[in-house]
């Protein structure tokens, strides 16, 4: 394999937040204010994903009026249904839903709802697994509907120090499941929970359908700040090109890891030999401020 698919795909990277709330559910900013927040922060796109619950009238918030020539929106929602292994409502991120997506029925389970979102064309992500104790069994019951795990949820990180999703995605990957990663804000604007985690999507245009198709295909990486320009796997070596970094790390099955440190690293080459037995690897780029960018996991031939 030469370039990983996210980097080999045609087009350019578009920066987006895939998970945000507004006054249409439990957040404190109006939809137009939420959209202007991201537009003015230089994002290329936003998915406003209000809680799809009866008390809010099952909203798929229409953000089309807030699109401009350089900023687009994707319709979506955070959908809920009973019940996880720990007895809570599921939180499932669905990006790319039709505006008339049918309300949930009381008997519909989380995995059934995830499958209905995927069938409706959405990119489906397992939201903030650490925040509410989602188990590996829960996550496996979502397959194959789920395309990704939210590996960083900024709102959960800032608000409750439970923003991680990598523990779950690493375990799923080691069990043979091919899911992608995404980083999001899950902003509610009650405290500083916006513009901290985003997903870079490689597509030929910022057309919402093209962005959703690219997400479903895994043509993306996740970031809190650093940029990843290319990841190339040739022979037994991975080479990474990135914005100036303090370290470049490769992780894989169980304890498999390898790291290169430096000052202002813009490229790194790491040997993949120790990752071959586990069959997969992923790349982390960390900058001087400790902010990270994450590739999706990839299989080693």
Q: Which of residues 225-284 bind Zn ion (CB under 5 A)?
A: none
150 interacts with Zn ion by CB under 5 A: no
The least distance separating Zn ion from the CB of residue 81, rounded to whole angstroms, comes to 13
DSSP string, the chain: --B-HHHHSSSEEEEEE--B--TTTT-SS-HHHHHHHHHHTT-SEEEE--EE-GGGT------GGG-BTTBEEEEEEEE--S--TTS----EEEES--TTPPPPPTT--HHHHHHHHHHTT-EEEE--TTTTT--HHHHHHTTTT--EEEEEEHHHHHHHS--B-HHHHHHHHHTT---EEEEE--B-SSSS-SSS-EEEEEESS--HHHHHHHHHHT-EEEESS--EEEEEEETTEEEEEEEEEEEEEEEESTT-EEEEEEEEEEEEEEE-GGGTTTTEEEEEEE-TTS-EEEPPPEE--
Q: Which of 29, 43, 77, 78 binds Zn ion (CB under 5 A)?
A: 78
186 interacts with Zn ion by CB under 5 A: yes
The least distance separating Zn ion from the CB of residue 115, rounded to whole angstroms, comes to 19
In terms of CB distance, is 78 or 193 closer to Zn ion? Answer: 78
Span near Zn ion by CB under 5 A; candidates 83-91, 140-148, 203-211, 285-293: 83-91
Any bridge partners for residue 236, and if so which? none
The least distance separating Zn ion from the CB of residue 218, rounded to whole angstroms, comes to 22
In terms of CB distance, is 129 or 297 closer to Zn ion? Answer: 129
In terms of CB distance, is 166 or 189 closer to Zn ion? Answer: 189
Span near Zn ion by CB under 5 A; candidates 60-68, 120-128, 195-203, 246-254: 120-128
Among 210, 208, 206, 249, smallest CA distance to 226 is for 249
Nearest position to Zn ion, beta carbon: 91
Span near Zn ion by CB under 5 A; candidates 6-14, 117-125, 126-134, 231-239: 126-134
Looking up tokens 């395309």 gives: 147
Span near Zn ion by CB under 5 A; candidates 82-90, 127-135, 165-173, 286-294: 127-135
| Structure tokens, 15 | 């920066």
44 interacts with Zn ion by CB under 5 A: no
24 interacts with Zn ion by CB under 5 A: no
| Structure tokens, 248 | 């470049």
91 interacts with Zn ion by CB under 5 A: yes
Span near Zn ion by CB under 5 A; candidates 31-39, 161-169, 184-192, 201-209: 184-192
138 interacts with Zn ion by CB under 5 A: no
Span near Zn ion by CB under 5 A; candidates 33-41, 90-98, 169-177, 278-286: 90-98
Phi, psi of 111 (to 5 degrees): -60, -35
In terms of CB distance, is 155 or 226 closer to Zn ion? Answer: 155
The least distance separating Zn ion from the CB of residue 59, rounded to whole angstroms, comes to 13
- Using CB under 5 A, list all residues that contact Zn ion: 78, 91, 127, 186
């Amino acid at each position: 394999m030469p370039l990983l698919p996210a980097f080999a795909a045609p087009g350019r990277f578009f920066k987006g937040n895939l998970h945000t709330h507004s006054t249409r559910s439990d957040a404190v900013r109006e939809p137009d204010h939420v959209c202007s927040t991201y537009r003015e922060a230089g994002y290329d796109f936003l998915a406003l994903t209000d809680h799809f619950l009866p008390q809010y009238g099952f909203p798929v918030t229409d953000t089309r009026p807030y699109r401009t020539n350089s900023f687009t929106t994707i319709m979506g929602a955070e959908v809920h249904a009973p019940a996880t292994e720990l007895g809570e409502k599921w939180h499932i991120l669905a990006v790319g839903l039709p505006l008339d997506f049918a309300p949930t029925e009381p008997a519909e389970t989380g995995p059934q709802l995830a499958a209905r979102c995927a069938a409706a064309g959405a990119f489906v992500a397992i939201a903030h697994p650490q925040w509410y104790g989602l188990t590996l069994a829960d996550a496996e019951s979502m397959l194959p509907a789920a395309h990704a795990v939210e590996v960083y949820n900024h709102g959960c990180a800032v608000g409750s120090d439970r923003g991680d999703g990598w523990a779950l995605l690493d375990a799923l990957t080691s069990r043979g499941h091919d899911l992608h990663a995404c980083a999001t804000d899950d902003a509610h604007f009650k405290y500083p929970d916006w513009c901290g985690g985003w997903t870079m999507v490689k597509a030929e245009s910022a057309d919402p359908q093209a962005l959703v198709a690219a997400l479903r295909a895994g043509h993306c990486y996740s970031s809190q700040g650093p940029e990843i320009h290319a990841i190339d796997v040739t022979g037994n070596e991975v080479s990474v090109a990135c914005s100036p970094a303090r370290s470049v790390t490769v992780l894989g099955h169980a304890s498999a890891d390898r790291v290169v440190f430096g000052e202002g690293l813009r490229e790194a080459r790491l040997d993949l030999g120790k990752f071959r037995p586990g069959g997969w690897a992923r790349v982390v780029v960390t900058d001087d401020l400790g902010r990270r960018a994450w590739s999706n996991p990839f299989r080693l031939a």
